[in-house]
Amino acid sequence: MSVRIVDIREITKPISSPIRNAYIDFTKMTTSLVAVVTDVVRDGRRVVGYGFNSNGRYGQGGLIRERFASRLLEADPKTLLDASGDNIDPDKAWAVLMSNEKPGGHGERSVAVGTIDMAIWDAVAKIAGKPLFRLLAERHNRKADPRVFVYAAGGYYYPGKDNSALRAEMRGYLDRGYNVVKMKIGGASLAEDRARIEAVLKEIGSQAQLAVDANGRFDLETAIAYAKMLRDYPLFWYEEAGDPLDYHLQASLAEFYPGPMATGENLFSHHDARNLIRYGGMRPDRDWLQFDCALSYGLCEYLRTLDVLKTHGWSPSRCIPHGGHQMSLNIAAGLGLGGNESYPDLFQPYGGFPDGVRVESGHITMPDLPGIGFEGKADLYREMKALAA
């Protein structure tokens, strides 16, 4: 049986939202949608793997078209196959993508490669005729658990937004079955943020827990001031207080904040993840790691990150990735991550779940769709199919 990648297509799409976090506004945000077209036929249709680059980092059309796609297309197809010869070996494809790349400098290209890697894993699972999460569980001798914890991320600083709108937004997440909700902090004064937090806590009562996210805005002094304020409340976590590379700040913060903290969405390689674990003072009994494979060279690299964690005594269940995409849902269900982010009202049609999947008690159940499952989400699949047509 021939298994070849016959084309790689990319289109850069707006993924804008009228929101801002403490660092950037999202009105010009884009994402790359990628289709890896194979010559394999399943159920009478050509197998196409799809990927997109999560959110929060820009689309990578330039790098994908100018540098990465051609490496795969020019490779001898035989060198990309697994031992059976019946499917693509994602690690071999990854090595080809990263040929002639120097070490270090993990940004942008990590997004380009992560997006292509997602599409390759989608194709590989479709060729195997299985949901990706089941394929991953099998390959790692685990039992897949299709029930995955998800939390609702929102609470941005909309223009003109006041606390009643914020409360209504959070109420909406509870009505949709979430039991952990997240809001932004650091885009207003500490006093205003305290008032926003109290308003939300009053709204959600004992029905849910609240996480807060500073998006890396704080210097050490501000991060500590917020820690002292935040520790008055029973928060689910205090996320990304300082610059993602300021491990010293993160480690210092543990002296002031005994509750759970979370970070990692802006670290894009297993080398950076290892530095966070080595130097960031993160505590494996309570803290959370949010590395997003779509921004970080994909699942092949994420597996190396999970190995780093294991070496340092961390369970994969401490990982709840950034991004709210179905790729991380599959990794969570297949490899035992602690859950996944979800943006109920944002970044559509890219984020979210297959149609018909409902959040119940803060969990979703993965349907048994071949590949990542994009075909189960009609509005997203419409975009993808158009790219591959």
What tokens does 218 get? 């704080």
**Looking up tokens 């939202």, which residue turns up?**
17
Residues near 76 by beta carbon (within 8 Å), at least 6 away in sequence: none
Minimum CB–partner distance for residue 19 and a copy of itself (Å): 12
**287/318 Cα distance (integer angstroms):** 7
The residue (of 19 and 210) whose beta carbon lies closer to a copy of itself is 19
Tell me: does residue 221 bind a copy of itself (CB under 8 A): no
Tell me: does residue 185 bind a copy of itself (CB under 8 A): no
Q: Pick the binder of a copy of itself from 6, 95, 188, 245 (CB under 8 A).
A: 245
Residue 67 DSSP class: I
Minimum CB–partner distance for residue 307 and a copy of itself (Å): 14
Residue 62 CA neighbour count, 13 Å, CB half: 4
What tokens does 2 get? 């021939």
What single string gives the DSSP state of each residue in 347-363? STTTSS--TT---BTTE
The residue (of 215 and 342) whose beta carbon lies closer to a copy of itself is 215
Degrees, nearest 5: CA angle 294-300-306:
90
Minimum CB–partner distance for residue 183 and a copy of itself (Å): 18
Tell me: does residue 280 bind a copy of itself (CB under 8 A): no
Degrees, nearest 5: CA angle 109-112-116:
140
Q: Which residues are catalytic?
A: 184, 322
Tell me: does residue 61 bind a copy of itself (CB under 8 A): yes
Tell me: does residue 85 bind a copy of itself (CB under 8 A): no
Is 290:265 a contact under the CB 8 Å cutoff? Answer: yes
Select the span of 204-212, 265-273, 284-292, 310-318 touching a copy of itself (CB under 8 A).
265-273
Minimum CB–partner distance for residue 59 and a copy of itself (Å): 8
Q: Which residues pair with 342 in a beta bridge?
A: 152
Tell me: does residue 18 bind a copy of itself (CB under 8 A): no
Select the span of 86-94, 227-235, 263-271, 346-354 touching a copy of itself (CB under 8 A).
263-271
Q: Pick the binder of a copy of itself from 236, 247, 297, 350 (CB under 8 A).
A: 247
Residues near 332 by beta carbon (within 8 Å), at least 6 away in sequence: 133, 148, 149, 319, 321, 338, 339, 340
State whether residue 371 is helix, strand or coil: strand
Q: Pick the binder of a copy of itself from 248, 283, 312, 358 (CB under 8 A).
A: 248
Size of residue set near a copy of itself by CB under 8 A: 46
**152/243 Cα distance (integer angstroms):** 23
Site string for a copy of itself, 282-321 (x = CB under 8 A): -------------x--------------------------
Residue 64 DSSP class: I
* Distance of alpha carbon 183 from the chain centroid: 17
Q: Pick the binder of a copy of itself from 56, 324, 351, 352 (CB under 8 A).
A: 56
Query: What is the contact surface with a copy of itself in residues (CB under 8 A)?
Result: 12, 23-25, 28, 56-58, 60-63, 65-67, 99-110, 215-216, 243-248, 266-269, 271-272, 274-275, 278-279, 295
